[in-house]
Amino acid sequence: MQILYWALQTLPYVVAFLAAVSLIVLFLGSYRSFGFGLALLAVTSWLDASTQSAPVLQLGVRLYVADVPLILLGAVTGLRWLVAKDVPWRHPGWVLYVLVFLGNLAWGLATQGTAAGVQARGDFYAIVAASYAMSFPMARPQVRLLVRALAWLAVGLATLTVYRWCVYYLQITDLLPPGGTYNVDGAIRVIGSPHALLLAQALLLGLYFAHISGAGAALRVMLPLMLGLVVALQHRSVWLATMVGVGVSILLARAERMPVWQQLGALGVMALLVVGGLSVGGRVSQEVVSSAQRAAAGEGTVQARFENWRATLTDWRQGGLRHILVGKPLGGDTTRLVADKDGRLVRIGFGAHNNYVSQLVGTGVLGFAGLLWALGSALRGLWRACRRSDGGDADWAALLLMLLAVQMAYYVAYAVDFMQLLVLGMAIAAVAGLRPAARPVGHPPYATYKPRPA
């Protein structure tokens, strides 16, 4: 009994020590290796999906599963931007955007208190992920790591999706969440739209860019499963983004990778799989058909989102010149009046359901212009690399360009996500390596860098 007593007395200290050691290991590993930080972000994304983005701990404030990893990576990113010698490009547009955001966060904390931090959480974590990626040299080895991370994340999300479908449709009530469903917008939507988008991106990678990862056979085997999941999950914005990704991939097709006719053939297979899935009777296919019909008719969330965007922009313009230039301070009142489908005015307080509207309102014309500058630089640099007839940069540049196009289409209807902005950060850093004039003075060409172990 005496041994048990002392074991219980020392247990909190042991746990605290192990936690401190773990944080130190994560910090050092993420600082030295992009692959380490990428793996941390992928695991965090899966854990976020498994907890349904809900708080996991109460310590005076609500802690979410992404809080500790992203705050840790934020510290790593800040240190790398200040002292690391291999930072490829501190893009001025991105710097402007981040400074405006941080200024509004400080402004909000001073006037609104912790509400500003709560409201800033999603954007802050996305900025951290992009800035972290931007602090490392990017080329083919790092893009291969991204493909592998997305493939493994897709496997984890697919497993989670199938498990939840089994729990719900087999009515295993002991395993169901308190509300009885995993999503109030539709029982079949057992994972959120940002995670369904990751499944769609894994589908596109397997269809067009599997050769880059070194695990092409595994990615191609996953194609039918990924396609079935993307269709059945019914996130219409993900459907649209997937079609954009297919179109961009075909546009960027090169003879040395995959002839256009093969890509069109793959697109035909996708269409047959979709039609086959919809032709199967039952509850799932009925939900999918109903969702597609509402989207085509502009009903449901489509009309409500247009009204939401209009009300959000009107409220922002009426805030005065200061709000127009640098945005609204974080943590303030976000409620606004919108008209429902019956013409009645309803007061809402949730986000704009459009990342472009959210960023314009949150960072003003200055911050939004900086963000567009950084995005435009990445798109232009990657496009130029894709059109070159020499060199081996075209395939992985096309991959990054396709992923950027997918997220740009997706952001018309949803807010930012840290796994998506990670890709933007990688693209900006990669363009710095493709443009010698953009490298910091005194830095050698990218070919001389030795990639750190993943």
pTM: 0.84
Cα 143 to Cα 385: distance, rounded to the nearest angstrom: 15
Specify the pLDDT at position 11. Answer: 64
Residue 364 has, within 13 A of its CA and on its CB side, a CA count of 22
CA-CA-CA-CA torsion sign (80, 83, 88, 89): positive
Q: How far is CA 151 from the centre of its chain?
A: 14
Bridge partners for 180 per DSSP: none
Q: Which two tokens stand for residue 104?
A: 């509004």
Which residues of the chain register pLDDT less than 50?
Answer: 255-256, 261, 272-273, 276-277, 279-285, 287-289, 291-300, 437-454
Specify the pLDDT at position 309. Answer: 73
